[in-house]
Structure 1
Amino acid sequence: MVDAGMHAGQLLTLMIIALALGMDAFSLGVGIGLKGIRLFDIIKLSAVIAIFHTIMPLMGIFTGKYVSTLLGSVATTAAGALLLLLGGHMIYSSLRGDAVGSIDYNSSWGMLLFALGVSIDSFSVGISLGMFEADMLLTVLMFGIAGGAMSVFGLLLGSRVSASLGGYGEACGGVILFTFGLLFLF
């Protein structure tokens, strides 16, 4: 019974983190979508983002497990600090209002750079989750699905709304990660 409660808690935590990380793909997708994008390009770009949102946390989890064995009891503090820094950076980036105009999402390199840019935070969170020994398969699947789905929603919404919504999505994701970082530290 306790194990089921812990698994449900882990599932809820991973869902919230996956959505928070997907907010980055969503907000940048809104920016790309504002320029106009074809449905085929939405599917292609979102698939690449989903793949990166799966690979990056997987690499992070392996790194986190290794770091966890080295750090021992310091792992929880390091993971919490990492989430605080990541969340703070996302909030700061959203307040600065950086534009995504320099990446041509139609080119292969542009698509890879875009996917890497929105997935790099998944690597950092994967390190933290590796330190806590989170369920690896569940984590990478949830991150991949959330990243791909949120990018689809952002790209579709971006073609229909104003540019001001994009920064709020990234800020919301940053606040969620920052909050989890505080919870891990205290």
Structure 2
Amino acid sequence: MNPISLILLAFAMSTDAFAAAIGKGASLHKPRFIDALRTGLIFGVIEGITPVIGWFIGQAAVGFVEEWDHWIAFVLLLLLGLHMIHAGLQPETAEATEKAKSHSFWVLAVTAFATSIDALAVGIGLAFVEVNIWVAAVAIGLATMTMVTIGVLLGRVIGTAIGHKAEIIGGLVLIGVGAAILYDHTML
């Protein structure tokens, strides 16, 4: 995977967390930088760990599906991208707004895990392409930490409308990365 694809993947993985962070920031009364950074660190660490777990799961299966690995990566990224686009097109519910108002460590950790399930699936897909999973995990974690920190700070100002748009853009980027992987492997 080339560095540009890796950077795009990292930021695409952070968009759902960014959307959640904007909602969180919108629900807090004047969030401080330290609160935003704490939230960003929690999300970033969890989002960075999940693709590694997925990669190990994928490595266990790579010998069985080596001939189809690029198709598997493409389909996983396509499905995740479509899921993110679908989620971005859904109206925000009152329940999601209520969840955003609580910001204890455990609530943040559960929310971070929920938004990182896609990173677990991406990690499985990355097991089938040439990528250093540790570099990818750090990139995803740093991108998520940065986006969530910014999202919490911006949330109070711009509200939740941009959050759904970020998920749609992230979904489109994931589909593009999947298409690039498929193209790279079928053109060789």
Task: With the length of structure 1 as denominator, give the TM-score of the two structures.
Answer: 0.88
Would you say 1:52 and 2:46 are equivalent positions?
Answer: yes
1:3 aligns with none
Looking at structure 2, the residues matched to 181 and 146 of structure 1 have their Cα atoms a distance apart, in angstroms, of 19
Could you tell me how far apart the structure 1 residues matched to 2:55 and 2:118 are?
12
In the alignment, residue 130 of structure 1 is paired with which amino acid? Answer: A
Match of 1:183 in 2: 180
Alignment-derived partner of residue 14 in structure 2: 22
Counterpart of 2:79 in structure 1 is 85
1:96 maps to what in 2? 90
Partner of 1:120: 117
Percent identical pairs in the alignment equals 29
Is the Cα–Cα contact under 8 Å of residues 27 and 97 in structure 2 kept in the other structure?
A: no
Please tell me whether the aligned partners of residues 105 and 114 of structure 1 are also in contact (alpha carbons under 8 angstroms): no
SS at match of 2:116: helix
- What CA distance in whole angstroms lies between the structure 1 residues aligned with 2:102 and 2:125? 30
SS at match of 1:131: coil
Please say which of residues 146-155 and 110-119 is displaced more in the overlay. Answer: 110-119
Number of residue pairs the alignment of both structures matches: 178
Instruction: State the alpha-carbon separation in 2 of the partners of residues 32 and 184 from structure 1.
Output: 34
Helix, strand or coil: the match of 1:109? helix
Instruction: Determine if the alignment matches structure 1 residue 108 to structure 2 residue 105.
Output: yes
Task: Give the Cα separation in 2 of the matches to 1:73 and 1:48.
Answer: 37
Aligned pairs (5 A) from 1:164-183: 164-183=161-180
Q: Deviations over 1:122-177 (max 9, x none)?
A: 11111111111311221111011001000011111111113211110011000111
Q: Which moved more, 1:106-115 or 1:10-19?
A: 106-115
Gaps of 5+ in 2: 184-188
**Structure 2 residue 61 is matched with structure 1 residue 64:** no
CA contact (8 A) 1:49 1:148 kept: yes
- Give the whole-Å Cα distance in 2 for the aligned partners of 1:83 and 1:15: 15
Q: Kindly indicate whether the alpha-carbon contact (under 8 Å) linking 2:85 and 2:172 is maintained by their aligned counterparts in 1.
A: yes
TM-fit CA distance, 1:56: 0.3
The whole-number CA distance in structure 2 between the counterparts of 1:131 and 1:185 is 11
Give the distance between the partners of 2:182 and 2:134, measured in 1 at CA. Answer: 25
TM-score by length of 2: 0.88
Q: In the alignment, is the contact (CA less than 8 A) between 2:43 and 2:144 conserved in 1?
A: yes
Q: Counterpart of 2:97 in structure 1: which amino acid? A: G
- 1:144 corresponding residue in structure 2: 141
Amino acid at match of 1:98: E
- 3-state SS, counterpart of residue 97 of structure 2: coil
Judge conservation of contact 2:19–2:160 (CA < 8 Å) in 1: no
Is contact 2:54–2:123 with CA below 8 Å preserved after alignment? yes
